[in-house]
């Protein structure tokens, strides 16, 4: 396991050692002891989630607020996505900044996203299977959505706007300026 700090405080790229041979490949996708040694963070994941989506599907930007905040460890099992993390911790020196990374089934990269971040992704391949671990249980009352095209965040989703497919729920997300008091 190799950890790489992103430009966002406490947000890490995880590069795992992949062992390949004629039978396929193997890698250790998470090791709590190594993760804590490399980051200083003791994270206990309690919930795993998985989604399948087609080209252009944009999920996000989502977060849980308050005591129900969630740290996530995300990766792609099939296909390719542009993954986006936005630091919305008011006390953070990187507040309001976004980080993007392409996660693919082939590159085996993972992204650790701490509590207090909004998260989303858009599918770049024909189909993608997305998997993530959370360190807190989902709580509907603590859910908050930020508009993917918020001008304050300046996220380049790498696809034309007319190719993006959003849920009805995500079309009603908030702009950051309108919800700062809820963070």
Tokens of 114: 């701490």
Q: Where are the domains of the chain?
A: 42-182
SS3 of 9, please?
coil
CATH classification for the domain delimited by 42-182, as one of 1.10.3720.10, 3.10.150.10, 2.60.120.10, 3.40.640.10: 2.60.120.10
Catalytic-role residue among 12, 108, 112, 132? 132
In the block, which residue shows the tokens 């998260």? 119
Average pLDDT over the chain, rounded to whole? 95
Query: What is the pTM for the complete model shown?
Result: 0.94
Q: Which of 62, 108, 119, 148 is catalytic?
A: 62
Residue 148 annotated to the active site:
no
Cis, bond preceding 125 (omega within 30 deg of 0) = no
**Contact residues for 77 (Cβ-Cβ < 8 A; gap 6+):** 50, 105, 129, 130, 131
Among this protein's residues, is 62 annotated catalytic? yes
DSSP letters spanning 139-161:
-GGGEEEB-TT-TTT----SS-G
Strands 110-113 and 12-15: antiparallel
Per-residue pLDDT of 64-105, as tens digits, reads 999 999 999 999 999 999 999 999 999 999 999 999 999 999
């Amino acid at each position: 396991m190799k950890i790489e700090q992103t430009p966002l405080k406490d947000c890490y790229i995880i590069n795992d050692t992949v062992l390949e041979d004629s039978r396929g490949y193997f890698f250790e996708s998470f090791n709590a002891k190594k993760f804590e040694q490399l980051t200083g963070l003791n994270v206990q994941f309690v919930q795993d989630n998985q989604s399948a989506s087609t080209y252009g599907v944009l999920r996000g930007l989502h977060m849980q607020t308050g005591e129900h905040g969630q740290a996530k460890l995300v990766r792609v099992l099939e296909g390719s996505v542009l993954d986006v993390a936005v630091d919305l911790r008011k006390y953070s020196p990187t507040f309001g900044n976004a980080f993007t990374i392409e996660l693919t089934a082939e590159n085996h990269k993972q992204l650790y996203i701490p509590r207090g971040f909004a998260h989303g992704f858009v599918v770049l391949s024909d189909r993608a299977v997305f998997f993530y671990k959370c360190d807190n249980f989902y709580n509907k009352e603590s859910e908050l959505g930020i508009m993917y095209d918020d001008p304050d965040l300046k996220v380049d989703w790498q696809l034309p706007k007319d190719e993006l497919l959003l849920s009805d729920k995500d079309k009603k997300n908030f702009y950051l300026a309108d919800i700062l008091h809820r963070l």
